[in-house]
Amino acid sequence: MTPNYYIVLSALLFTIGAVGVLVRRNAIVLFMCVELMLNATNLALVTFARVHGNLDGQVMAFFVMVVAAAEVVVGLAIIVTIFRSRRSASVDEASLLKY
């Protein structure tokens, strides 16, 4: 099994996440896309750790998981607060600040 497949899969997942952030409009879905990007990175990190035969990549993956959890909590707190004051999670409706 060559590691290239894993890297390609990781790059694909990362791209799907990035495109999702750019085209979707629901804050929760945007947020899930960001999480997909982080987890795609984890796959790449673990694969490279295997390629290089050292554990640094796996250690980094642990840190990414923890940071992602903290990010989920902060993000959900913000989204729930906005939802309560507007009854909607669409990022288009949140448009008091014009571009």
First to last CA, the chain: 48
By beta-carbon proximity to another protein, the closer residue of 5 and 69 is 69
CA 64: distance to chain centroid? 10
d(CA 8, CA 22): 21
- For position 76 contacting another protein by CB under 8 A, the verdict is yes
- The amino acid that residue 92 corresponds to is D
The contact set with another protein (CB under 8 A) reads: 7, 10, 14, 17-18, 21, 27, 30-31, 34, 37-38, 40-41, 44-45, 47-48, 51-52, 54, 56-57, 59-60, 62-67, 69-86, 91, 94-97, 99
